[in-house]
Each structure stands twice: as structure tokens, then as C-alpha cells.
Homo-oligomer: A and B are copies of this chain.
């Protein structure tokens, strides 16, 4: 089975467990809206790829770990779009959860998804219960305080922010949980997998900054230019467009180099390089350069 099929099926099964007749129907709708249809599901894909590279002796637990991370990611998007943060009306090319269901149900859908993530992890550990505490520590570190994605979002409420700390928490932490959690789900030592997650997370954040600052809204399915409009730290405002593009390429190369020697290493390397092209296609980089050059001529 293709990884993406496996992920979508497991996500549907995890969500269905909370959807019986006693669930308030609009909450069930908001949760569904937050998870389906999804984006690239890159965190669970990376998690499964690492689990496979580590011998994947418990596919049920690998699935559960991958799905838990995606549910936490979906929860963070539902909350990030709230009026007190981005106040976004669009996400993944259609209405955001808060726009479609209102902010109250967007808050509750996010809360329910965080809980569902940990429930999924616990259920998936039935064959390897002794791996559960370590996996929960890894997943918890990726999402909670002091340095998970919740902390990353909270840096936007501080008056002084270090860009690298902010990016590492806001995006990197969940990628680190994906690589290390994938290893732990397969019973392997997670530490050698930290650097891959760290590099990938930083690369994603820089790619997001580039796409936010410069891309055509029609290409990425959400409003753009919000980082600049909201005065947020961004690689583009700090390094300029060309500097941010170079930084992105360097981070992807570092991430690919950080893959430990293992049986599935070359497949993982391909996944990383493929994601780089998906995030910032060569054609997009070239168009951005031309636009920047034109703008320099006009303002000269």
C-alpha cells in the first residue's frame, strides 16, 4: 500500500472513533473539516519512512505515531486560523474551520484533535506498550512547552524573538517528533534521527516564509503577505528573497546529509529532495527572482 493511502485510511479510522451518535454533530463536522481533505501529509510520511528505514517491526504503532502527529498539525492549523491569531478565512484552498464553523467550534475541534492524537498513540501501542511512554515524551516535546509548536506560536505574542528559536519551535519541533517518533515506533534509538527532523523543520519554515512573502495566492491556497503585514519574524524580511532561497537550499542539503546510514536511506533522501521541489519549484524560484529584479529596476 502507498504511504499516503495508509495515512488517509488510518486518519479516517482515528477520526471515526470520536464520531458516534453521542458526539455533537457540528463538532464532528468541524473536526472532519480540520482533517479532510488534507495537505501533503508530510509529517506522517516522514515518520513512516523513518520507521521503515528502522525495520518497522510494529506497523500499527508506526501508523499511530504518524497519525498522531498529523492530528496535532491539523489542530494547530485550526487554532492558528482563529481571529486572535491569523484570522484566516481560507486554508488549503477552502474555508478555514473558524470561517466554516465559527471560532468556538474551531477551538473545540483543535482541543478534541489534540486529545485524539494521544488516544490514537495509546491504542496503537497495544503490541508494544513499553514503547508508549518514550513516544509520548517525544510527541509531547514536539507540541507542548517549552519548545513545541504551541510555544512556537506563542513566540508571536512576545516583543523580543530570536528567529531561529521561533522557527525551531513553530515548525521544527513537530518534524523532530516525526523523525524521532518514527524510529521509536520501530524500537530504534531516536537520537540519530534528531538532526534530520531539525533540518527539515527549519527548511519548511523558510519555505513558508518565502511563499508567504512572494507567492501568488492562487498557487498556495491561503492569503499571503501576512508575516510582513503582521510584523512577524520572517526569513525573507531578515535575509532578503535571494538570501532566503539560498538558506532554504542549504537546509535541504543539510537535512539530506543528516540521514543516518540505513537500509531505507536512499528512499528517504529522495523523499526529502522531492519535498524541496514541491515546496519551492525551480520555476517558482525563477519567477520570484524576475519579479524582484523588475521591482529593483522600477524603484531605481
Contact = CB atoms under 8 A, between A and B. Distances in A.
Given A23-B145, A111-B111, A112-B150, A140 B157 contact: no
A37 interface: no
Given A19-B146, A150-B111, A119 B136 contact: yes
B111 A165 contact: no
Interface in A129-157: 129-130, 132-133, 136-137, 140, 143-148, 150-151, 153-157
Interface SS, A side = helix
Contacts of A82: 103, 107
Contact of A137 (B107, B112, B123, B148): B123
The oligomer's copy count stands at 2
A24 B155 contact: yes
Interface stretch (A25-33, A213-221, A263-271): A25-33
Nearest to A101: B157
B122 A133 contact: yes
A40 interface: no
Nearest to A159: B26
Nearest to A168: B22
Interface residues of A, number: 60
Given A84-B107, A110-B111, A126-B133, 18 more contacts: A18-B146, A19-B146, A22-B165, A23-B147, A27-B157, A79-B108, A84-B103, A85-B107, A108-B157, A111-B111, A111-B114, A114-B114, A115-B140, A118-B118, A118-B136, A119-B144, A129-B129, A129-B132
Contacts of A130: 129
13 contacts: A21-B146, A26-B158, A27-B145, A27-B150, A83-B103, A84-B102, A84-B104, A114-B114, A115-B144, A116-B145, A123-B137, A129-B133, A132-B133
